[in-house]
Amino acid sequence: MGISTQLMDDVKECARAEAERRTYPPQFPALPPVPGGRYFDPAFAKLEADRVFSRSWLFVAHADQLRNIGDYVLLDQLDKPIMLIRGADNAVRAFCNTCRHRGAALVEEPQGNVGRRLTCPFHAWTYSLDGKLVGYPEAMNFSDLDRESHGLAEIRCESWGPLIFINLDVKARPLAAFLGSVGEDLSDFAELDGRLHLVDRTVREVGVNWKLPVDANLESYHVNYVHRTSAARTLQQSGTGIQLLPNGHSRMLVLYRDTIDGKALSPFPCVFPNLGDLPYCGTFSYHVFPNLSIVFAGTGLVFLITNWPTGPSTSVYNVHWCSSLAVDQEENRKLSDKVIAALSQVLFEDLDVLPGEQRSLNAGTLESLRLGYQERRIYYLHEAIDRAIGFEQVPETLRVPQLLASFVQE
């Protein structure tokens, strides 16, 4: 599997053709204004929480965060108290961090190891690592308590190689079906558990709606201005090729300038051979609906950006930095730190400019967003959000017309 040679050529040709384009594409519709209320309205934020984040597959952790049996990680990205835990069978599962007796939290620290069992600190109800209730004190005080029906509440959890996803919707289709062509293109991920290492993680609170940082990852129009002393020195912003994919996902290649040697920028051993030379041609990335950006810096370094709503106008920005080189050696650590520092500068330049946009939205001085052709991935995200919510459930004043279906590449 992986990207075919023909598709690789098509992706590169799309970016090259964009660099030569001088007029608006005649076959593409003018994008309607996107209502500003979608970025601050509390009722709309609740619709997103209930219909988007509660029903989508969400990337939440890297397997290296819980490598040993009994390791756990608390997830703070969602309103529900959820933990990941590695079982005796080496599988990673997700459970509500809630004792089935009286609701006490089973673990309090952000991550750690519970040993062979989970024991509630309140009344010592005890659970196996796969969530079964295995014991509780003074059993004679409970009449006919059915242990099988009092196991921990399990959340759907699937792994894509080292990447761990959860979904709060018990009826959701499998992760592979949700990923669709993204999973096919990036099939190397499935074989990378233990080979693609988590080398660093960035977490930053930002005073903006969750979509604003996502939007910044979906377009390159700002590169020559926000990143004029950083990324613009290596990227040819006009050479931005975009493909809209099923299920709200998308793909983007921003070409390097002709003088840039992509391999020299990221000297990490290759673990994504099925991508060919695409990651060396420029910044190559995918958006996975709703909030995940997978960005390649060569074929041996990839970073995964997620942004999580904490309120209508606030969010938490997460980056998982992953490398083919483990950082147990000082030389590898120094190389990773150097590259991550340069890339972080670019990411933080985006975050620094976004609060001004949020203030304008909150104040009503920006009533709507006017998007251009190179920002169509943002509009496509809004379309997908409305489809996930249910078009008729979105207030009429906040809806976006569904226009881009015919431009999606199957």
Tally the C-alpha atoms within 13 A of residue 332's C-alpha that lie toward its C-beta.
Answer: 16
- CB neighbours of 329 closer than 8 A, spacing ≥ 6? none
**Mean of all residue pLDDT scores within the chain:** 97
In terms of CATH, what superfamily is 58-160? Rieske [2Fe-2S] iron-sulphur domain (2.102.10.10)
Task: Please count the residues of the chain.
Answer: 410
Q: What is the pLDDT of residues 133-171, one digit of tens each?
A: 999 999 999 998 999 999 999 999 999 999 999 999 999
SS3 annotation, the chain: CCCCHHHHHHHHHHHHHHHHCCCCCCCCCCCCCEEHHHHCCHHHHHHHHHHHHCCCCEEEEEHHHHCCCCEEEEECCCCCCEEEEECCCCCEEEEECCCCCCCCCCCCCCEEECCCEEECCCCCCEEECCCCEEECCCHHHCCCCCHHHHCCCEEEEEEECCEEEEECCCCCCCHHHHHCHHHHHCHHHHHCCCCCEEEEEEEEEECCCCHHHHHHHHCCCCHHHHCCCCHHHCEEEEEEEEEECHHHCEEEEEEECCCCCHHHHCCCCCCCHHHCCHHHHEEEEEEECCCEEEEECCCCEEEEEEEEEEECCEEEEEEEEEECCCCCCHHHHHHHHHHHHHHHHHHHHHHHHHHHHHHHHHHCCCCEECCCHHHHHHHHHHHHHHHHHCHHHCCHHHCCCCCCHHHECC
Cis peptide before 25 (omega within 30 of 0): no
When pLDDT is averaged across residues 40-48 and rounded to a whole number, the result is: 98
What pLDDT sits at residue 266?
86
Q: What is the pLDDT of residues 247-260, one digit of tens each?
A: 999 999 999 999 99
Structural domain boundaries of the chain? Answer: 5-56+181-407, 58-160
pLDDT band of 380, cuts 50, 70, 90? very high
pLDDT band of 116, cuts 50, 70, 90? very high
Q: Which CATH code fits 5-56+181-407?
A: 3.90.380.10
Whether the model pTM is above 0.95: yes
Q: How many CB atoms lie within 10 A of CB 76?
A: 15
Q: What is the pLDDT of residues 313-324, one digit of tens each?
A: 999 999 999 999
- CB neighbours of 304 closer than 8 A, spacing ≥ 6? 59, 62, 163, 292, 293, 294, 295, 319, 320, 322
